[in-house]
Amino acid sequence: MPEIKVTPLGAGQDVGRSCVLVSIAGKNVMLDCGMHMGYNDDRRFPDFSYITQNGRLTDFLDCVIISHFHLDHCGALPYFSEMVGYDGPIYMTHPTKAICPILLEDYRKITVDKKGETNFFTSQMIKDCMKKVVAVHLHQTVQVDEELEIKAYYAGHVLGAAMFQIKVGCESVVYTGDYNMTPDRHLGAAWIDKCRPDLLITESTYATTIRDSKRCRERDFLKKVHETVERGGKVLIPVFALGRAQELCILLETFWERMNLKAPIYFSTGLTEKANHYYKLFITWTNQKIRKTFVQRNMFEFKHIKAFDRAFADNPGPMVVFATPGMLHAGQSLQIFRKWAGNEKNMVIMPGYCVQGTVGHKILSGQRKLEMEGRQILEVKMQVEYMSFSAHADAKGIMQLIRQAEPRNVLLVHGEAKKMEFLKQKIEQEFHVSCFMPANGETTTILTNPCIPVDISLGLLKRETAIGPLPDAKKPKLMHGTLLMKDNSFRLVSPEQALKELGLAEHQLRFTCRVHIQDPRKEHETVLRVYNHLKGILKDYSVQHLPDGSITVESILIQATAHSEDQGTKVLLVSWTYQDEELGSYLTSLLKKGLPQST
């Protein structure tokens, strides 16, 4: 049976470090190449030795696909392509290709410059890696080679995130990456057509959560910001250049407008231009509403949000500032943080995950005295809040996606083993498909039932459709023919044609059976008796008495001869072809019962 093999190298039953290997019809594809943000040693990279123990991976992989720019999906890419070695194509969407290198470089800076690591990829490696990237558009079928094709679908979640369909012949796998089934302020919801893949690989991080409604989160966020600003404090929101920042900007802008607030909101310079640039470039990736209003007014050109200048940080009075980088590990956001940390009227709101070692992580864990460069101690009196606005699919969303795509099997990644049992059962019960949840390094084999296309000869088709009931588009019709397999082609032809093509003769099989009947009369009288008898019983069949003394029932021949030794016994020869086996044996047993006395 043909099969698809899936091996997670990361995110098997574990969150972080997504990397899944798929083997489909002889092609090997790597899906995502993420970094585990919680580890500082080799455990942060997926274990590539699974693919091959030695040497470069180019020969073993047909392509690599990256779903989106989050580091736990692309963080290990430069390491993989430049340090382990891979020169084949790397596919991702256009926004991902544009934004990935920025985040990778940022991350490299923290790890190498701040933490002093040595075994890490360099800036040049990032550039070299990105040269191998082939960007794809949504719903564009990309031929990787003659047999392997891939197609990207919109996934929501972050700008440029995509779900990928990988197809070889008639076997296909869909990999979701991270996705979101509910639209938010600047991105739409994930969507896929009824592509009926053999396997759907989906993340299940949030499958066990019942999320607080977005309105409540937003309301609480706005409340906190408002309260701080009302009492004259300053709010710092460290963000990455792209991602949730835009969502929060739109939120604050709308709120400021509605409440007629006067306190200034600033967005780091450089950040605004870049973000605007990317969003304009990738406007098709945002949601419907933004695209519609973009013509009249650029959603990302805000009325209340202005460009920031370093000097503003010292201005008295309330304000809200969005500054990069997101984990408070360097740059402008850290500078501002240091200025404002000492005042308890101020507040810092962390909108996402912070890597260990960064100031962001430290203050979220509760540390209030931080050691800065030059042994300076910074006392943190400002309020520290955390607000996660990340967009992932919950159990309801996962079920929705499965309902849309109609896969034959489902594989769960990104969740903890014990916590996925319930979801597995839920999926199996509702959709009657098998659900798998392998651990890292564990290979799951999925059997597929590929359809094999066969050419049917016109003559055979016409002949078969003429027999029996009229063809019905909804019912399968059983046809008889001969399958000829030559090289890579399959043809279904009539038996006669097959014989002709192969130069074989058709053999006829004929059976003959002798039935003894006690009848002292002459042969031709016996024959008459037999004829009348059969005619009486077999009313639906054509029973004929031929001039040469034989009887035919359909195509079966019956002849009577006298027994050589005993004149009182007549021997009936019943002869039929293989095709009339049933009727022949019926007749034989009928005749064996003897003739009725009356005739």
Which of 59, 87, 220, 301 touches other proteins by CB under 8 A? 220
Q: Could you give the string, one character per residue 342-381, with x where binding to other proteins holds by CB under 8 A and - elsewhere?
A: -------x--------------x-----------------
**Does the footprint of other proteins cover residue 211 (CB under 8 A)?**
yes
What is the Cα Rg of the chain in Å?
Answer: 38
Cα separation of 516 and 518, whole Å? 7
140 binds other proteins (CB under 8 A): no
Q: Does residue 336 belong to the site contacting other proteins (CB under 8 A)? A: no
- Per-residue mark of binding to other proteins, 422-451 (x: CB under 8 A): x--xx--xx---------------------
Among 385, 464, 519, 580, binds other proteins (CB under 8 A): 385
Stretch of 130-138, 205-213, 335-343, 493-501 lying at the interface with other proteins (CB under 8 A): 205-213
The CB-of-231 to other proteins minimum distance in angstroms stands at 15
Cβ proximity to other proteins: between 62 and 184 the closer is 184
- Please choose, from the candidates 28, 33, 150, 58, the residue with its C-alpha nearest in 3D space to the C-alpha of residue 443: 28
User: Cβ 269 to other proteins, closest distance in Å?
Assistant: 28
Q: What number of CA atoms fall less than 13 Å from residue 565's CA on the CB side?
A: 1
Question: Which of 60, 386, 431, 586 touches other proteins (CB under 8 A)?
Answer: 386
Burial level of 86, CB count in 10 A (0-12/13-18/19+)?
buried
- Write the single-letter amino acid at 485: M
User: Least separation, in Å, of the C-beta of 345 and other proteins?
Assistant: 16
Q: In angstroms, give the least distance from the CB of 181 to other proteins.
A: 13
The alpha carbon dihedral of 197, 199, 205, 207 has a sign of positive
Q: 558 near 552, Cβ under 8 Å?
A: yes
In the complex with other proteins, the residue whose CB is nearer, 319 or 354, is 354
Under 8 Å between Cβ of 72 and 45: no
The Cα 51–Cα 489 span in angstroms is: 33
Q: Tell me how far apart the alpha carbons of residues 113 and 107 are, in angstroms, rounded to a whole number.
A: 10
DSSP-derived letter for residue 312 is G
- The correct pick among 42, 116, 210, 432 for binding other proteins (CB under 8 A) is 210
Stretch that binds other proteins, among 117-125, 219-227, 229-237, 247-255 (CB under 8 A): 219-227
At 364, list the tokens: 């979220």
Q: Is 224 in the site for other proteins (CB under 8 A)?
A: yes
When binding is defined by CB under 8 A, the residue of 86, 121, 221, 576 that contacts other proteins is: 221
- Of the pair 394, 464, the CB lying nearest other proteins is at 394
Interface segment toward other proteins; rule CB under 8 A; list 29-37, 369-377, 393-401, 588-596: 393-401
**Number of chain positions touching other proteins (CB under 8 A):** 31
Query: Given its phi and psi angles, is residue 190 left (phi above 0), alpha (psi -120 to 50 degrees) or beta?
Result: beta
Among 131, 258, 369, 418, binds other proteins (CB under 8 A): 418
Query: Measured from the CB atom, is 215 or 375 closer to other proteins?
Result: 215
Dihedral of alpha carbons 472, 473, 475, 481, sign: positive
Which residue's CB is nearer to other proteins, number 48 or number 206?
206
CB of 399 to other proteins, least distance (A): 8
Helices 214-230 and 244-259 cross at an angle (nearest 10°) of 60
Which of 83, 138, 330, 395 binds other proteins (CB under 8 A)? It is 395
Q: Which is nearer to other proteins, 297 or 419 (CB)?
A: 419
Q: Which is nearer to other proteins, 432 or 474 (CB)?
A: 432
Least distance (Å) from other proteins to the CB of residue 382?
14
Q: Which residues are catalytic?
A: 203
- Give the sheet arrangement for strand 383-386, strand by strand: 305-307, 265-267, 319-323, 234-238, 347-350, 383-386
DSSP 112: I
* C-alpha pair distances (Å), 16 with each of 45, 115, 224, 334, 362: 10, 20, 30, 26, 20
Binds other proteins (CB under 8 A): choice among 40, 58, 119, 209: 209
Selected binder of other proteins within 140, 145, 216, 372 (CB under 8 A): 216
Conformation bin of residue 441: beta by default, left when phi > 0, alpha when psi is -120 to 50: left
Q: What is the DSSP string of 169-186?
A: TTEEEEE--S--SS--SS
Complex with other proteins: residue 383 or 577, whichever CB lies closer: 383
Asked if 132 touches other proteins (CB under 8 A), the answer is no
Nearer Cβ to other proteins (216/447): 216
- Region class of 443: left (phi > 0), else alpha (psi between -120 and 50), else beta: beta
Q: Any contact of residue 212 with other proteins (CB under 8 A)?
A: yes
Q: Which is nearer to other proteins, 145 or 430 (CB)?
A: 430
Of the two residues 386 and 586, which places its CB atom closer to other proteins in the complex? 386
Give the footprint of other proteins on residues 43-62 (CB under 8 A): none
Is there binding between residue 421 and other proteins (CB under 8 A)?
yes
* Rounded least distance, CB 216 to other proteins, Å: 5
Structure tokens at 517: 């009947």
Show the CA angle centred on residue 433, arms to residues 445 and 452, nearest 5°: 65
Q: In this structure, are residues 319 and 312 in contact, taking their beta carbons and an 8 Å threshold?
A: yes
Q: Does 215 bind other proteins (CB under 8 A)?
A: yes
Q: Does 230 bind other proteins (CB under 8 A)?
A: no
3-state secondary structure of 296: coil
Positive/negative CA dihedral, 472, 475, 480, 482: positive
Which residues bind to other proteins, rule: CB under 8 A? 208-213, 215-217, 220-221, 223-224, 349, 364, 385-388, 395-396, 399, 418-422, 425-426, 429-430
